[in-house]
Structure 1
C-alpha cells in the first residue's frame, strides 16, 4: 500500500446528533461527503495505519471528530469549539446568497467578484479548521476545504 492509500479517509459518517434536514440539505451533505471521500489527504498525528473512518457529531455545540481504523478500532477523538467558525460560516452563507442572487441578475464581472469573495471566505474557514486541528490531524489544504464545506453543510438548515 502506498502513502496515498493509507493517509486518507475511506468513510465519513454523520452521527444522529447532527440531526436530519430538508431533502435539499441532505443532498448537499451527501455530495460534500462524497467529494471528501473521493479525494483527501488525512492522517491523525502519531498514527500511520490508515485508511481511516471519520464520524462527525455535535455535543454541547462542539464538533466532535471520532477517528477509527478500517476495523473500527478507536484511534483518536478531537473536540472543536464551533465558536471560531460562527462568523466565518455566517459570512459564507451571506455571500453564497448574494452569489446565487447575482447569478440571476448580475453581469459576469459582478458574479466573478462575488465568487472571488466567496472563495476567500471559504479559504479562511479552511485555514481556521487546519489551524484548530494542527498537531492533531495532518491534512492538505484541499482536504481542509472539503471538510470546511461539510462543516458549513452541517450548519445549513435549508
Structure 2
C-alpha cells in the first residue's frame, strides 16, 4: 500500500531530528474594515462633538468614515473635533473627505478642528495643503479648549440671502 503523503507519521527513534519539518505558511484573512478603522463619537460638551478614529483611513475604510462623519455636520454643535491621533495611515481619499467636511462645516457655521500628532498623518495633512485650511492641534485637550461662539456664515446676515445678493429690503438693487 502506498503511504498517503498527507498523513502524519510518528518520528522513529533513529530518525534525523536536526532538520525541522517544513512549516506551512501562516495564512491570514484580510482584516475586516471594522478592524482596520474604529470610530467613536463623544459629546464632551453641549456644543461639541468629538470623533475619534483609530487605525487606517484609506480607500476601503473611507466610506465608513464618511458615513459616520458627515451626519455630525448637520448637528447643532458649534465645534467638531476629529481626533486622528491613533490613525496609522491617511490616504488621499481620507484627506479629500476631511477637506470636504471642513467646507461643509464652515458653510453651516461650525468649526472643524483636527488632532494630528503622528508624523505620518501630520505629513499627509501638510502635503495636501490641508494644514493651511483646517485648524490642527497636538492634543484633544487643546482642540476642545475653546468652543467658538455661534458664527453666521459669510454672506448671510439678518436679512438672509437677499442681503448677500445685494437686494435691498424694498426689492431694489
Which TM-score applies when normalising by structure 1? 0.23
Structure ID, larger Rg: 2
Greater fraction of residues in helix: 1
Report which structure shows greater RCO (CA 8 Å, sep ≥6): 1
